[in-house]
A and B are shown apart, each in its own frame.
Chain A
Amino acid sequence: MKSFTFGRLAGLVLAAAIAGAPLAAPAFAQEAAPPAAAAPTTEAAPAEAAPPAAAPAAEEPAAAEAPPAPEKGDTTWMMISMVLVLMMIVPGLALFYGGLVRSKNMLSMLVQVTTVACIGIIAWVFWGYSLAFTDGGTLNKFVGGLSKVGLNGAIFNAEGAFTNVETFSKGVVIPELIFVAFQATFAAITAALVLGGVAERMKFLAVVVFAVLWPLLSYYPMAHMVWWWAGATSAFGMDSAALSDGAGLLWGWSALDFAGGTVVHINAGVAALMGCLILGKRTGYQKEPMQPHSLTLTMVGAGLLWVGWFGFNAGSNLEANGYAGLALINTLVATAAAGVSWLITEQVTRGKASGLGLASGIVAGLVAITPAAGFAGPVGSIILGLVVSPICVIFCSVVKNTLKYDDSLDAFGIHAIGGIVGAIATGILVNPDFGGAGLVDFTKAAVAEYKMADQVLAQVKAVLVAVAWSAVASTIVFFAIKLVFGLRVSAETEEDGLDIAEHGERAYH
């Protein structure tokens, strides 16, 4: 095995960061004043836009105000976002992963990804949504309760009107069922991502059980810890401590995660690592060639992922306003930068820039920008994209080949590592001095003070919790399945290919 030019890689990471700095300089100069003014304006605007004006509304008792109603633009945007995220799974992720496996396993990868998504969606309706997005009583820091099992009370209220959920703007709501549907796709894709670590050797039955069990122990609690909070309308006027206390653990720590760097990517990536370690390496790993059978389809998948991800990131804003636009442009530029960065890294270390590398760089950029999407500025996002690729290259090649774990499709190397880089970088890039959107004090609908050390610390704490929780929860799930159903296919099945052995079909004839 050829030894990798680690020193050159580390130098590249540094170079990328330094190269990015002059790019950010213009952003420093022009952004210093506006964000401070922009934040309260954007935050206060929804309140003022709803007639009557903010001042008279504050004088009236809250009960006399008409409850906020969804706006058609926000509602439409959220519906489109859900569709985009679904496309990320089918066929985006299915093809991305499918192209990376050997042709004898193509069909099984497509079926596994799609099936896990289908199960995830159904489970979300029955218990997932409730466990993620309701008050969990004594366990509320970690998980929700059962009050909305079967979406009871999550579609219609007692009077038969559609229920709404709050957003990040005071006075802005969207229909709850659209939020439910949107979040269902998140739950679905997170579990499907894990399949990248256990590709070409996991029993279909084990995959099905995993799709039900793993979200219960890992996804729903993480979603709750990061995203459960009162909402901007309820938060206004609340006591700060009360707001934090009533929220999920990580939200209460002021950890920022716009679209799920921790909940989705670190969670799935770490689970993939646990899975690949518990299942063991593919037979012939590092001895036989196991090249992607169709980088064509992988590139198609990467393209679909990129396009769909605008729904994932900008949709996580829950409404169609400037912050959604910020997430949109960040998702565009960070990804482009990461793609180019991976190409450059490979040109330097491998001698040739590869298509696999470009596809991987694009996904790495998407993963990294996910937690930062509505917080960073575009120049900061480009820097993040430039920086994340060399780091992921190191994990996907040097670290993986040295430690010899078979993270087959680099779910850990891209999703966990990219997610960690992005999550921590969010604490830095949100800085208004770096062109970021700055922090919001939802109790006052005003700009909150930003201290880099405090914010980065909150990010690091959240990352550590995400890694630890996922590692433990995933280990339990994989071992439980191993004990009861068995995890791995037989040696003969692995040799013949999962398509014919597990599904009685071939992807190709």
Chain B
Amino acid sequence: MKLIIAVVKPFKLDEVREALVAAGVEGMTVSEVKGYGRQKGQTEIYRGAEYQVNFVPKVKIEVAVDDAAAGKAVEAIKAAAATGKIGDGKIFVLGLEDAVRIRTGESGASAL
């Protein structure tokens, strides 16, 4: 099993969700985060005092998938989240040791 973590631009969330559903992914967890890579933050000025705000709002999507489905899911996210501009985000793929469905107690691939 794999845990895929994608950090994308907030307005891309719906597109990515639809692409993942089309790719057969049945659930995901989403959080609002801040971050930066090569995309620089904004400069905000309050009362003539400048603040360099480094962190840009992003959305983090986490999905747990079968090894076989991982590649397809990554491709789906990549296609949906891209704009071609700096700040599109990153996808991380982690090895997932176990997953448990709390209601039934199932574990492993059948919990996904």
CB B55 to nearest CB in A, in angstroms, measures 10
Distance A216 CA – B44 CA, assembled complex (angstroms): 41
Question: Does A396 lie within 8 Å of B51, measured CB to CB?
Answer: no
Range of interface residues on A (Cβ < 8 Å): 10 to 19
Q: Are B48 and A397 in contact (CB-based, < 8 A)? A: yes
Partner of B49, one of A292, A349, A354, A401: A401
Which residue in chain A gives the minimum CB-CB distance to B48?
A: A397
Contact with B along A335-359 (1 / 0, CB 8 A): 0000000000000011000101000
Q: Is the C-beta of A286 less than 8 angstroms from some C-beta in chain B?
A: yes
- Does A4 reach chain B (CB closer than 8 Å)? yes
Which B44-59 residues have a C-beta within 8 angstroms of A?
A: 44-51, 53
Interface positions of B from 26 to 67, Cβ below 8 Å from A: 44-51, 53
Which of A289, A291, A350 gathers most chain B CB within 10 Å? Answer: A289
When distances are taken between beta carbons in the complex, the residues of chain B under 8 Å from A4 are 48
Find out whether the CB atom of A286 lies under 8 angstroms from the CB atom of B49: yes
- Nearest CB of A to B42, in Å: 11
C-alpha spacing A356/B49, complex, angstroms = 13
Q: Is A1 an interface residue (CB 8 A)?
A: yes
Contacts of B44 in A (CB 8 A): 289, 291
Q: Are A292 and B46 neighbours in the complex by a CB distance under 8 Å?
A: yes
Residues A410 and B46 in contact, CB atoms below 8 Å apart: no
- Closest chain B CB from A397 CB (angstroms): 3
User: Which residues of A (367-423) have their CB < 8 Å from a CB of B?
Assistant: 396-398, 400-401, 410
Residue of B nearest to A346 (CB): B45
Q: Is the CB of A396 within 8 A of B47?
A: yes
Which B residue's beta carbon lies closest to that of A3?
B48
Interface size class of B (residues with CB under 8 A): under 10
A291 touches B50 (CB 8 A): no
Measured CB to CB, the nearest residue on chain B to A351 is: B45
Report B56 CB to chain A, min CB distance, Å: 14
Query: Is A2 in the interface zone, CB < 8 Å from B?
Result: yes
Bound together, the chains give a CA A279 to CA B47 distance in angstroms of 21
Which residues of chain A in 277-313 are interfacial with respect to chain B, using CB atoms and an 8 Å cutoff?
286, 289, 291-292
Q: Which residues of B contact A401 (CB under 8 A)?
A: 47-49
The answer for the CA separation of A401 and B51 in the assembled complex, in Å, is 13
Contact B51 A350 (CB under 8 A): no
- Best-surrounded residue of B47, B50, B51 (most CB of chain A within 10 A): B47
Instruction: Select which of A2, A349, A356, A398 is within 8 A of B46 by beta carbon.
Output: A356
> Across the interface, which residues of B come within 8 angstroms of A1, CB to CB?
49-50
Which B residue sits closest to A285, measured CB to CB? B49
Question: Are B47 and A289 interface neighbours, CB within 8 A?
Answer: no
Q: Mark A137-152, 1 if CB is under 8 A from B, else 0.
A: 0000000000000000
- Find chain A residues with CB under 8 A from B53 CB: 289
Chain B's nearest CB lies how many Å from the CB of A51? 58
Partner of B48, one of A289, A291, A292, A398: A398
Q: A1-B50, A2-B45 are in contact. List 13 more A-B contacts (CB 8 A).
A: A289-B51, A289-B53, A291-B44, A291-B46, A291-B51, A349-B48, A354-B45, A356-B46, A396-B47, A397-B47, A397-B48, A397-B49, A401-B49
Closest 10 A-B residue pairs measured CB to CB?
A397-B48, A289-B51, A397-B47, A2-B50, A396-B47, A4-B48, A350-B45, A401-B48, A401-B49, A291-B46
Q: What residues of chain B have their CB less than 8 Å away from a CB belonging to chain A?
A: 44-51, 53
Sample (26) of A-B pairs whose CB atoms are under 8 Å apart: A1-B49, A1-B50, A2-B48, A2-B50, A4-B48, A289-B51, A291-B44, A291-B46, A291-B51, A292-B46, A349-B48, A350-B45, A350-B48, A354-B45, A356-B46, A356-B47, A396-B47, A396-B48, A397-B47, A397-B48, A397-B49, A398-B48, A400-B47, A400-B48, A401-B47, A401-B48
